[in-house]
Amino acid sequence: MAPSATETATIPSRPVVTLTTNTGPYKELAPIGYEKEAELEGKNGFHAAKYKNYLPTWGSERYPPLEPFQHRDHGLDADPTYQELLAPGVITNDLTPTIGTEVTGVQLSKLSNAGKDQLARFVAERKVVAFRDQDFADLPITEAVEFGRYFGRLHIHPTSGAPEGYPEVHLVHRGAGDKTAEAFFETRTSSVAWHSDVTYELQPPGTTFLYILDVPETGGDTLFANQVEAYNRLSPGFQERLHGLKATHSGIEQVEASKGKNGAVRREPVISEHPVVRTHPVTGEKALYVNPQFTRSIVGYKREESEVLLKFLYDHVAYGADFQARVKWAPKTVVVWDNRVTSHSALVDWKSGQRRHLARITPQAEAPYETPFKA
């Protein structure tokens, strides 16, 4: 769906804000775009994409700053017995006790609005859910976009590739001829990069959809961490200390990385302040809400103080294998997760020369808020 004329208005330049941080530059492995795909197809064993309509393009569109909007989570209206989503015959398999479930036997694209409400609530409770044997990739892109729009205003990513005419679809694509990972590992030891998506926005994502288009033979899994359980593992005294704190989240580094590759910049970068502990509007659960990709500093703390606290929280999540889940991709899989209460990382570990291609639809949710601490 093409953006409206008002959405494509050129926005004035803003002064660049320089942030001091030891978290390092935003880590992004550059993808191969549609034009390069056309050059490589059929050469040196390069296999064409199964879904060419989902190959990434980068236009010259410019969008105005995002405006606040009212968001009501549909999980608040859901039947908690899940009569439609988990009807008789639907099979569920929990990946771990606290996070992750695999589901077969229900077709997401056929859900009624009541079923979508149940989906929002179920994902909020299980944090990440892998739905197998789905038809999302084969739907007209318009239908997939409209399905996602039910859950909130769709985010248009400031730098990523998108299918031609559908800027609301964020593409995760590494083509069969892409060798950038080899160069990346010449200077880095790991591709793990824990984050929640675009937390620099004033209203970051909630219920989020990622569906597979091309999958490597093995590898390319996605790790998810339960930020609620990460909070719950902390001592009451430490939890109380975190309440009332806010942290800055920056989109500047992501935009600068795109500029460094002569990539797209669709919207000027922003910095937002969010509570370090946020509350989920449906479950009432409290979750840590910081991540090393976008969080930059604790508001009101000196640099050294901020870095010590943030490093502890990052390490706490990264080492928490007992509140993490690993989702293995398979054809026709749609993974739905709640970006408010999880963090995740893709794994760049598959055999060189194989394609990994996914599409993400990213509804925005409410501005993060916290509720009072209770011991």
Going from N- to C-terminal start, the domains of the chain cover 34-59+71-361
Which among 155, 195, 355, 356 is annotated as catalytic?
A: 195
User: CATH number of the domain at 34-59+71-361, out of 3.40.50.410, 3.60.130.10, 3.40.50.300, 3.30.930.10?
Assistant: 3.60.130.10
Which among 126, 344, 355, 357 is annotated as catalytic?
A: 344
What integer pLDDT is reported at residue 299 of this predicted model? Answer: 98
Catalytic: 197? yes
pLDDT(338) > 60: yes
Amino acid identity of 68?
P
Catalytic: 170? no
b or e along 64-97 (b: 16 or more beta carbons within 10 Å of the residue's beta carbon)?
eebeeeebebbbeebeeebebbbeeeeebeebbe
pLDDT, one tens digit per residue, over 103-127 is 999 999 999 999 999 999 999 999 9
Rounded to whole angstroms, the Cα distance separating 254 from 25 reads 8
Which among 73, 117, 178, 197 is annotated as catalytic?
A: 197
Q: pLDDT higher for 20 or 260?
A: 260
Which among 170, 173, 357, 360 is annotated as catalytic?
A: 360
Mean local confidence (pLDDT), 152-177: 94
Please return the burial class of 373, using the count of CB atoms within 10 Å of its CB with bins 0-12, 13-18 and 19+: middle
pLDDT(16) > 70: no
pLDDT band, very low/low/confident/very high, at 59 (cuts 50, 70, 90): confident
pLDDT, one tens digit per residue, over 293-327 is 999 999 999 999 999 999 999 999 999 999 999 99
Catalytic: 326? no
